[in-house]
Amino acid sequence: MNPQHLFADERFLGVCAYCGGSSGTRDHVPPRFLLDDPLPSNVPIVFACAKCNQGASLDEEYFGCFLESVIAGSTRIELLRREKVKKTLSRNDRLAERIRQAAFVDANGELSWRPEANRVQNVVVKLARGHIAYELSTMQNEDPAKVLFFPLHAISGVDRVNFENAASGQSRRWPEIGSRAFLRACGARPFADQQGPWVSVQPSRYRYSVDQHGGIRVQIVISEYLGCLIEWN
């Protein structure tokens, strides 16, 4: 069985997961640039129109390169770990300089980085919409009520535990019957081996959780460094 293409609500076949218009392409969620090769076989795929599919590609490239540079503490090619980022920054001097200029030394004498927050938010919200379409067989085209992104090491104690639990143990609304989220909640095949609230797309690179409890909450962790929380009421 191929869970990438099973269980989707037929009402949304051929409909863009991001804008609700007619789709002519399919989109990986997350995009290939945020994953390492070889790509895992379980990368979620949703329907998308060409505009939504390609419209965020530059932001996704910036986001992936910026995040890797922050983790490495440098834009120097030899210090970066991800091959896709190395190749991109080695041929795109303008992007490398743009990210380099985002670095500064803070009042404590430590290296810090100023992200282009609007570009990061564009990517994070698109990811969340894609995960909602894939897991819940529904669309969320409205603006989210909350969008947060932060280094995981910046939260600790109860806040970190709550984030990692991803609403486990809370009173939750059952997802639509036939959706992937419903099958995951039931422990049905092919999701019977999934443990905990997180879906791991690529270990140490990308995981996410989609939860309904009054609204919809999507949590994402990228490179075990950046945590993201997106909520709709």
Determine, yes or no, domain membership for 25.
Answer: yes
pLDDT at 169: 47
DSSP-derived 3-state class of residue 4:
coil
Over residues 65-84, the pLDDT tens digits come to: 999 999 999 999 999 999 99
* Beta-sheet pairing, 111-113 with 216-222: unpaired
Structural domain contains residue 24:
yes
| pLDDT, mean over the chain | 88
The answer as to whether 179 is a domain residue is yes
What is the C-alpha separation between 199 and 136, in angstroms, rounded?
14
Tens digits of residue pLDDT in 125-158: 999 999 999 988 888 989 999 999 999 999 999 9
Task: Name the β-bridge partners of 212.
Answer: 216
User: Does 95 map to a domain?
Assistant: no
In a domain, 35, yes or no: yes
CA-atom Rg of the chain in angstroms: 18
Per-residue tens of pLDDT for the chain, all 233 residues: 455 444 555 666 789 999 999 998 999 999 999 999 999 988 999 999 999 999 899 999 999 999 999 999 999 999 999 999 999 999 999 999 999 999 999 999 999 999 999 999 999 999 999 999 998 888 898 999 999 999 999 999 999 999 999 866 454 566 666 667 667 766 666 565 666 789 999 999 999 999 887 789 999 999 999 999 999 99
The residues near 188 (Cβ < 8 Å, ≥ 6 apart) are none
Taking the whole predicted model, whether its pTM rises above 0.75 is answered as yes
Structural domains of the chain, count: 1
DSSP states of 103-156: EEE-TTS-EEE---HHHHHHHHHHHHHHHHHHHHS----SPPSEEEEEEGGG--
**Residue 218: inside a domain, yes or no?**
yes
Let me know if 205 is exposed, middle or buried by CB neighbors in 10 A (0-12, 13-18, 19+). middle
Contact 202, 40 (CB under 8 A): yes
Kindly state the DSSP code that residue 197 receives in the 8-state scheme. Answer: S
**Per the domain annotation, does 66 fall within a domain?**
no
Residue 69's nearest CA partner among 98, 93, 99, 91 is 99
Instruction: Evaluate the omega torsion of the peptide bond into residue 44 and state whether it is cis, within 30 degrees of 0.
Output: no
The sign of the dihedral angle between the CA atoms of 215, 155, 127, 10 is negative
Q: Output the CA–CA distances (angstroms, integers) from residue 152 to 63, 139, 207, in the order listed.
A: 17, 28, 13
Kindly state whether residue 62 falls inside one of the protein's structural domains.
Answer: no
CA distance 69 to 97: 12
- HEC per residue, 216-230: EEEEEEECCCEEEEE
